[in-house]
Every structure is written in C-alpha cells, then in structure tokens.
Amino acid sequence: MSQTLFKRIIDREIPAKIVYEDELCLAFEDINPQAPTHLLVIPKKEIASIAELGEDDAALVGHLLVVVCKLAAERKLSNGYRVVANSGPDAGQTVPHLHFHLLGGRAMSWPPG
C-alpha cells in the first residue's frame, strides 16, 4: 500500500507550511484555501477517515479538536469558524487520511454544498 500525501508530509518527504506539531498530530496550511484561514489538522496515526475511528481513538480525536480550538484562538477567529471532516468520496474526501479542516476569517454560508 502506498503512503498517502499526508503521511508523506508527516514524514517530511513533501514540504508543507506546518503551523503546529506535537507527538500526536500535525497542522498545516491547505494548498487550496477556501477561506482566509484554512488549516488541516491531521493525526500522525494513519486512520483512513472518520468512518474508520474506533473507541480507542476517542482521546486522539478529542486532542485533534482541542488543537483546532487552540489554532482558531491563535488566529483570532472570534467571530466564528467551521470545522469539517469529510468521509469518503461522496463527501469530497480526496486524501484517505483522517483530517479536520479549520476554516475561518469570513462568513460561511449554509448549506455548505
């Protein structure tokens, strides 16, 4: 099985504008931003999508969301922000590695798509 784009970013085989890293996760700027702030927060553990989460991943997902909140605060997204996790091709997931999009810096419309 070949490595995903995100695994290659974690392994520093592909450059990215990394804005946060700890032992569990990595956050970086999206290369095709859909808002003034568009970051991706990914676990270092390889999980294909939110649909593949197990009960043993609960603490990891909680950590990822705490990191999202920290990054939103650092970027002063006090008027609000959106957190998105696509699961599968029909939802628009293009990289089979769990990731949360942090979008902010502009008003978001609803429904999203």
Cβ-based neighbours of 113, under 8 Å, separated by 6 or more: 92
71 vs 111: CA distance, rounded Å = 24
Q: What is the DSSP letter of 15?
A: -
Q: What is the DSSP string of 3-14?
A: PPHHHHHHTTSS
Residue 99 is a catalytic residue = yes
90 vs 19: CA distance, rounded Å = 29
The catalytic position among 63, 97, 99, 101 is 99
- The catalytic residues are 99
